[in-house]
Structure 1
Amino acid sequence: MGLTLGLSTALSGLLTSQKGLDVISQNVVNVNTKGYVRKVMTPESVTVNGMGAGVQTGKIIRSVDEGLLQDIRRQTSTQGMLDTLNQYYPRVMDLFGQVGDNNSISHQMQTLQSSFQSLAAQINTPAMQTAVMQTCLDTANQLDQMSESLQSLRLEADRGLQTVIGLANEQIANIFDLNQKIVRASAIGSEVGDLEDKRDNALTELAKYMDIQYFPRGDNSVGVYTKSGKTLVDKGAAELTHVATTITDAWMTKAGGNFNSITVSTDDLLRDITGDFTSGEMRALIDLRDKIVPNLQAQIDELAAKMKDVVNQVHNRGTTYPTTRSTMSGTRQFMDPNNPDINAGIPAALVADPQTIWLSGDDDVTIAIFDPNGTEVASTTLKTIMASNAYNDAAGNATALDISDTPATPGVKLTDVAAKIQNWMQAQTYQNSTLSSASASFATGKFELNTGHSSLSLAFRDQVSSVKGSNAEDATINFDADGDGTADQSVDGFSNFFGLNDLFTKTVPNSISDSNILHQDFTLSTTRTIRLLDPSGQIGNAISIPTGSNLAAMAAAINKQTQTNESSTLSTAAVTMTSDATITIYDSYGTITGFPITIDSATTDNLNDIAAEINNVGGSVQAKVVQTGPNAFKLRVWDSRGTPLTMSVEAGAIGSSNLGTYLGMQQANLIQATVVPDGSGYRLRIRQTDDQELFVAADQDNATPPTSFITEMGLRASSSRSAGNLSVRTDIQGSPSLISRGAMKYNADLQQYALSEGDNTTTMAIANAMAAKSQMASAGNIYAGSYNFVEYAAASISVVSTNASHAKDQLAYQKTLSTALNNQHTSFSGVNLDEEVANMINFQQAYSASAKVISTLQQMLDTLVNIIQ
């Protein structure tokens, strides 16, 4: 028994040493394998009945410090984020340039300012006029190219996000697959070290894309989760989903729903988890798309919008003499409910309260006509002709109107302003003929004027009073968007208000209104009421927003109260049915009381008849006919409760079709209110979804001075899209001599106004205005303050440079930290050849000794056998 036990013991030593050498050989050959962790085999003694019976192979242990691995993965996520940011920042810096670069936006602003100064010195030189026009166009084009490039970067980041999510899904699937193999191998006692190495590599790779947390389980598998606890790997492999958008624009935001969500398949509700990622390449791409680039876009939009406003305000004061300008076309869009060309064929008024304007205090506006020599042909003031019975209003009545701010309910309809100016011009004579062809109207919703004679120029001069020759100063124009007698906006300059002599234009409507940048905890100080309108009239209901409402609650209230049902755009208001129709309207509870109703074919001949039948029900359902242009009619239906409606129209034969098909009623959300991030806070954004001009009207309180939702929120036409849609007025591009250079001036000796050929008043004023500091609103990472345009452009460049430098410094630090952590990991988990050789010698010696024991025992057994024989 002793010899047999000895032989067995020696054999166990032989096998154990062999296994040790096998482990060492695996370590040695994988010394340069990325992610390989050194394995250690520790022999264990074997006892039988308390007596030693040899040695056996112990558990093969991976040399891993799990705490250190977790640190490495956290740093891997951070470095992945910084690596991605540093791939994009150099491209952004190339767009903005350095302050001293000739191609930077700040240099372009300086060039534009200098071009006006040069024109002032050579005011009537065609080459200089062309040079200024081209510089204006170059400035607009550079801003447009910057905007386009920034949006391309956002689009690229969103597509990159989709790609990275695909890579993350591969690693998630890989981790789950390795989990399965490890669990199966562990169950049958097989070695799993190499599989665990591969799983660790997959976890580290996943950490590069996104920040994760993971936990080991008793069966040797690991559960993997997002930082917020969303499951990525458990009993199955989750799949992250994100579909990149195909188009982006400056106004588009993730908060506004313009970029798709990131969802995970383990969430049955498929909730958006975009905000769950705080590090990794995914976080960098999200920040680029939703924060970094939009902030830069907001800055150049603010620059473009303010430059346009400041230059246009001064340019509108000027004249083009000696170039004749007999026609003027405004750039600002208005509602025009009283225009017979627009509303022909509708027997009922579409909008009860048209838009109005009035002047503040003693302000007045001189209107003058000049001959080719710059001599006054006729002049008057706006207050004078409005108050005169000699000039008819838009209805053809000889009515005296007060355009001052003294009436209890101030305001004169825009169409009356146009009609009286037109009648005054037509009453003037030139070369013994009346200007009967003169015109002024809002035929397209924009103010258009024509002297009726190609040799006569029209000009405006704002002044401090109605006295002829009184000091020139911009008149304050108060604008009432809904005709309720309260000003919703005040603009300096009569011509500037209408955009009659703009130099820069915006090629898209003002369909978006933004609040100031507000803190996320901002709440409304008191209950406020607003109304939203587009060129068709008011959309939905008046919106009452309660005291204490936060930004999200405001947006929700606006969206609720502006829901409508719209028909298709119809070419005529007439409706001819040969049989009766039935209209049924439902809300979420079912058919609304009073419906269905019958539309009698015998008494219905237009859309207003249908609207009247709906309104006659007398409940919460409202209906009206709206018109957006010539031969463009719609039936609009909504609920005064702000409840979504469904409208069913049956029968009502119209030729081979029916009324339901003809109307094509659909639920519509013409207004979208969202809360969007900008810089250090958030804006309330209200958008007309059909990209039509948006008007915001608000009730005022009794404070002194009165305040409203508009003033408390700082609500105004958004500067968004300004950089990407800035241009020079088309006729100026074709004829640079239409750039304003001089101004209407009063000759006290002649007691007349005159235009002078050598006058550079307006050109110098534009140059000075560009050099002067303007009050800029907060945008992106630049806070509100006074800047001239060169300074603001330089500040934008500085923001880019600072952020890029900071990201670069962070990456350098992160690389140093990652190197240190990896060195620690390598020191602990990596293969040391010297150590492995030493261990190999030990196992080799043990193997030799065991073999010698076996050899000796074999001899002893042989001797014993021979004795017995």
Structure 2
Amino acid sequence: MAGNLLQIGTSGLQAYQRALNTTGHNIANVNTPGYSRQEAVFTTAQEQRIANYYQGSGVFVEDIRRFASQFVINQLRQDTSTHSQLSSFDLNIRQLDSLLADETTGLNVGLDKFFNALQAASENPTSIPARQLVLTEASGLASRFTTVQSTMESQNRAINQEIEALVEQVNSLAAGVAELNRQIVTQQGSGGDPNDLLDKRDELLRQLSEIVSVQVIEQDDNTLNVFIGKGQSLVVGVSANNLSTLPAKTESAGVNIVLQGTEQVLDNQITGGMLGGLLDYRDNILQPAFNNLGLVALAVGKTVNDQQRMGLDLSSSFGGRIFNDVNDRQATLDRVTASPNNTPPVDRVISISIDDVQSLKATNYTVEFIDNSTFTIRRDSDNSIALQASLSGLFPETVEVDGMRITFEAGSFQRGDEFFLEPTRNAASEFEVEMNDPRELAFAAAIRTQTSTTNQGTGSISQGDVFQVYDAETGNFLPAFATSGQLTPPLIIRFTTPTTYDVLDNSDPSNPKQLDPPIRNQVFIPGSPKDVFTLDQEQTIASSQARGTGDVGLVSAPVTVALPAVPNPVNGYSAQTITVSNRDPDTGIVTTSTVNTLANATAQEIANQLSQVDGVSANAFNQVEITNIIGGSGAAIELSINGESLTNSALGTVPVPDVDPLKNEDYIQVLADRINNNGNLTNQGIYAVVSETPGAPPVPTLKIYATTGVDLDVQMTADAADSFVVSNGQTGAALSTQTLTGSGPANATAVTIGGSLDVTMAEGVSFRTTPFVSSIFGDTSSFSFAKSSFKGFQVTLQGRPEANDTFTIDFNENGTSDNRNGFKMANLATQKTILGGTASYSEGYGQLVEFIGVNASQARIDLDASEALLNQTVSLRNSDSGVNMDEEAANLIRFQQAYNASAQVINVAREIFDTLLNAF
């Protein structure tokens, strides 16, 4: 019996010693991260049968139980990952928000100072100090751009360095988890759970979740497999896979995270933890901020430079650039990065020029070749295809996308080739001031206009507005400004009627000539403003041949018939087949339309047919001059135009023409008045003016115009001694004149003059005749057949001018006090120059600041919420798994007492055993 009591006492002693050890272990690890409270689990020993009953044999510790809820552990990892991500994101975005919004570092103050200085200098354009202030503020603005960009670049580098360091930590922690898996499997083979190793493994996983969100799956052997992203394995059993970093597709993009040994980029798949926060901030906040900042820099630099170069400086020279050229050769090349995976040879050359900042988007692009010629251009911001096109192989080839001109200059482009385009990314770092002489600021406009002092009407002309001086593709001066200090040619606007005008070459003011291509017979509505020139840089004008050549405007051979029959001469125009081609500037698709004209069709009819085609506007007109009128018979000459009698006595007395042509001005004036008062002729656009032939002596002349391009039929009935000359207004050309001589009062003699056409074609439109050489248009295949009508400037006519009123346009030489161009530069501050014409520079920058601010505010809200959730989960874990010192102290006393009592049981057993021995 003493032996059984000894066994019981010994079992208690051992059991409570283990309980004390466990309690001591808890107390010792009260501050150990990740430690879970442990508890000794007591179980009674196997009882023994004695006679007809069972006798207890003591106690033993069946297990050391670990207090850990897998649900709470998983929730802690998840909340830790979320909080770490938001904390990392918040830390970085607050720095950027402070940088952009602060008045001492942001752009708005710099923009305001620069444009205010421009405004002040424009108000006093000859002031050198005011001009110098403009350059000073320009330097300040450039400094702000570069400072903001530099600070953002520093943050970008720091983020990428931190990403690389965190990747190393992930690899270290993953290796630690794999090693603990091995140790746990080994120790569990001997039975029981290695609680401390389980805690260490959970703590490593918690630390791992601080860096990246992980998915953990427990296996049958109690190992844990760890996955990141979208199922990429980090730990499988006792093996760990390593992450690594590789340079991203462009240097500015930093580094990409990949599984070591592969090129699978995980950036878009990794979430949670500090890595997720850094990647989210870098790719979705910082990189777009670079692009938006660069967009503003490009917009300011290009639009200010462009406007400055349209004006004249104090030496009457066109202005140079204030800021650096956004399309500098090196800049156009630096915007393109070729993929290192492109097939050799590395000979492809692509450049990007910024043409239209209003259409420019703050995004990067990817060019991918589907085959050796077909490629797509995809926007990175929304993954949409901006353009799909093909190369012909005849370099250079250019496409236009989102305000950019992308030029494929040379190289063996092949299927699978990729190129990464960053049109705005680095623009702010390149923003600098080039100009250092304030006299070079071009505040004066390049043209000036003048109204003739002899004008009879109330018409007026605007001062003139220059909107382009240089060719966008070549960079050369437009023809109008190609000669230094001159407008080539100077122009005069002459009203042929109160409702029509011509624009003429005024190089010789005594003899203005038609332009090439001509701008004539233009319609003006009195009282309504009318812009004189086109704004379409690609617009061209093709004209019919010179009057009197081919079929155009010839004066037909006189036809004489006996009255009452009516002579029926024709204009002699041949039938035409005209093919109009229209190339869409965005897609490159060419569509064609065919126009078939009839023989002897009037210029008006041909113009109407052509004007039905998209992109084509045809203007028809006609003219005839009647001069050298000889009234040798002393009787009246009966004259009609297009069947309308001008000498009908019922309309009033008509002077008898004199035998001397110089004395027939009164007769001609009556004819002109009859034409201008004839409603039927007016409806056909026919009017007349009295003029004189050039030279000495000047001969009175009746000039008849048809603004609609109808044929002009001139018919006379007179005696044989009467005659006059009919001309098409182009004396000297073949078939340009005919002399009509009377055939007696019983006969009528007539000629017909056909009209001319000017065909205006929009960008991408051209036409050809079949055959190419047309009797009306000449050689339509000639390179010079259709010529640009773009001048680069604009003037506006208003009021109510009269026939023969004139307005001149010339170079603004010595316009030092002119400030029109200066005000245009100053007004750029408030113009909607970017983001599709919806925002000014400041508004565009403000949208960037707002975007960052909103995200920063939301990040702070999310961070506070995640911190509350994390604290709640930590409290829950502590309540379940944490060591409670009061409880452990109580356990220590309780187990110590039990231990002492067990020792006393052993003493009693020993005394009983001694008593038994002494009894024998």
TM-score (structure 1 length as normaliser): 0.54
Cα shift readout 1:650-706 (whole Å, capped 9, x = no counterpart):
xxxxxxxxxxxxxxxxxxxxxx9774533x66576999xxxxx9853489xxxxxxx
Q: In 2, Cα distance between the equivalents of 1:748 and 1:501?
A: 33
Query: Are the counterparts in 2 of residues 323 and 738 from structure 1 also a CA contact under 8 Å?
Result: no
Paired AA for residue 510 in structure 1: T
Offset, 1:737: 2.5
Q: 1:273 to 1:246 in 2, by over 3 A?
A: closer
Residue equivalent to 2:423: 718
Q: In 2, Cα distance between the equivalents of 1:843 and 1:533?
A: 83
Q: In 2, Cα distance between the equivalents of 1:247 and 1:717?
A: 11
Residue equivalent to 1:89: 93
Residue equivalent to 2:33: 34
- Please say which of residues 816-825 and 307-316 is displaced more in the overlay: 307-316
1:306 to 299, 304, 316: 299
Residue equivalent to 1:119: 121
Residue equivalent to 1:748: 451
2:398 to 682, 690, 696: 696
The within-5 A match list for 1:489-568 is 505-506=325-326, 507=328, 508-511=330-333, 555-557=367-369, 560-561=371-372
Q: 1:552 to 1:809 in 2, by over 3 A?
A: closer
2:106 to 91, 104, 107: 104
Q: 1:502 to 1:849 in 2, by over 3 A?
A: closer
Residue equivalent to 2:502: none
Residue equivalent to 2:797: none
Q: Does 1:218 align with 2:220?
A: yes
Q: In 1, Cα distance between the equivalents of 2:277 and 2:241?
A: 20
Q: In 1, Cα distance between the equivalents of 2:153 and 2:824?
A: 35
Residue equivalent to 1:606: none
1:75 to 79, 86, 101: 79
User: SS at the partner of 2:31?
Assistant: coil
| CA radius of gyration, larger in | 2
Q: In 2, Cα distance between the equivalents of 1:55 and 1:22?
A: 16
Residue equivalent to 1:325: 317
Residue equivalent to 2:62: 58
User: SS at the partner of 2:828?
Assistant: helix
Q: In 2, Cα distance between the equivalents of 1:745 and 1:553?
A: 44
Residue equivalent to 1:263: 258
User: SS at the partner of 1:57?
Assistant: strand
Q: Does 1:852 align with 2:852?
A: no
Q: In 2, Cα distance between the equivalents of 1:16 and 1:35?
A: 27
1:174 to 176, 184, 206: 176
Paired AA for residue 290 in structure 2: Q
Q: 1:851 to 1:533 in 2, by over 3 A?
A: closer
What fraction of aligned residue pairs are identical, expressed as a percent?
21
Query: Are the counterparts in 2 of residues 510 and 694 from structure 1 also a CA contact under 8 Å?
Result: no
Residue equivalent to 1:771: 830
User: SS at the partner of 1:7?
Assistant: helix
**Which structure features the higher share of helix residues?**
1
Offset, 1:242: 2.8
Paired AA for residue 64 in structure 2: I
Query: Are the counterparts in 2 of residues 10 and 853 from structure 1 also a CA contact under 8 Å?
Result: yes
Query: Are the counterparts in 1 of residues 397 and 407 from structure 2 also a CA contact under 8 Å?
Result: no
Paired AA for residue 677 in structure 1: D
**Which structure features the higher share of strand residues?**
2
TM-score (structure 2 length as normaliser): 0.51
Q: In 1, Cα distance between the equivalents of 2:46 and 2:160?
A: 65
Residue equivalent to 2:197: 195
Unpaired segments ≥5 residues, structure 2: 337-347, 353-362, 390-394, 409-419, 454-807
Q: 1:861 to 1:841 in 2, by over 3 A?
A: same
The within-5 A match list for 1:582-593 is none
Q: In 2, Cα distance between the equivalents of 1:271 and 1:317?
A: 51
Q: 1:206 to 1:166 in 2, by over 3 A?
A: same
Q: Does 1:758 align with 2:788?
A: no
Q: 1:155 to 1:554 in 2, by over 3 A?
A: closer
Q: In 2, Cα distance between the equivalents of 1:686 and 1:88?
A: 38
Cα shift readout 1:690-745 (whole Å, capped 9, x = no counterpart):
xxx9853489xxxxxxxx999xxxx99934433222334x3x33454243444421
Q: In 1, Cα distance between the equivalents of 2:115 and 2:447?
A: 23
Residue equivalent to 1:138: 140
Offset, 1:94: 3.7
Q: In 2, Cα distance between the equivalents of 1:719 and 1:89?
A: 21
Offset, 1:83: 2.1
Q: In 2, Cα distance between the equivalents of 1:246 and 1:533?
A: 21
User: SS at the partner of 2:265?
Assistant: coil
Q: In 2, Cα distance between the equivalents of 1:299 and 1:270?
A: 30
Unpaired segments ≥5 residues, structure 1: 254-258, 329-499, 515-531, 537-550, 563-641, 643-671, 688-692, 700-707, 778-784
Offset, 1:300: 1.1
Q: 1:81 to 1:694 in 2, by over 3 A?
A: farther
Cα shift readout 1:111-167 (whole Å, capped 9, x = no counterpart):
122111111122111122122123223323322332233233222211211100011
Residue equivalent to 1:337: none
The within-5 A match list for 1:387-398 is none
Size of the alignment, in residue pairs? 516
Q: 1:533 to 1:6 in 2, by over 3 A?
A: closer
Q: 1:243 to 1:263 in 2, by over 3 A?
A: closer
Q: In 2, Cα distance between the equivalents of 1:229 and 1:129?
A: 64
Offset, 1:324: 4.0
Residue equivalent to 1:727: 432
Cα shift readout 1:3-27 (whole Å, capped 9, x = no counterpart):
3223212211111011111111111
Query: Are the counterparts in 2 of residues 743 and 759 from structure 1 also a CA contact under 8 Å?
Result: no
Q: In 2, Cα distance between the equivalents of 1:123 and 1:245?
A: 52
Q: Does 1:282 align with 2:102?
A: no
Query: Are the counterparts in 1 of residues 366 and 379 from structure 2 also a CA contact under 8 Å?
Result: no
Query: Are the counterparts in 2 of residues 11 and 850 from structure 1 also a CA contact under 8 Å?
Result: yes
Q: 1:554 to 1:35 in 2, by over 3 A?
A: closer
Paired AA for residue 799 in structure 1: F
Paired AA for residue 800 in structure 1: I
Paired AA for residue 223 in structure 1: N
Query: Are the counterparts in 2 of residues 158 and 244 from structure 1 also a CA contact under 8 Å?
Result: no
The within-5 A match list for 1:13-52 is 13-48=12-47, 51=54, 52=56
Q: Does 1:240 align with 2:242?
A: yes
Q: In 1, Cα distance between the equivalents of 2:351 and 2:208?
A: 52
Q: 1:221 to 1:739 in 2, by over 3 A?
A: same
Q: 1:681 to 1:535 in 2, by over 3 A?
A: closer
Query: Are the counterparts in 1 of residues 447 and 809 from structure 2 also a CA contact under 8 Å?
Result: no
Cα shift readout 1:753-800 (whole Å, capped 9, x = no counterpart):
2332211111111212322333414xxxxxxx6122222222222222
How much is the aligned-residue C-alpha RMSD, in angstroms?
3.7
Cα shift readout 1:608-664 (whole Å, capped 9, x = no counterpart):
xxxxxxxxxxxxxxxxxxxxxxxxxxxxxxxxxx8xxxxxxxxxxxxxxxxxxxxxx
Q: 1:171 to 1:17 in 2, by over 3 A?
A: same
Query: Are the counterparts in 1 of residues 248 and 255 from structure 2 also a CA contact under 8 Å?
Result: no
Offset, 1:855: 2.2
Paired AA for residue 12 in structure 1: S
Query: Are the counterparts in 2 of residues 213 and 224 from structure 1 also a CA contact under 8 Å?
Result: yes
Q: In 2, Cα distance between the equivalents of 1:155 and 1:724?
A: 15
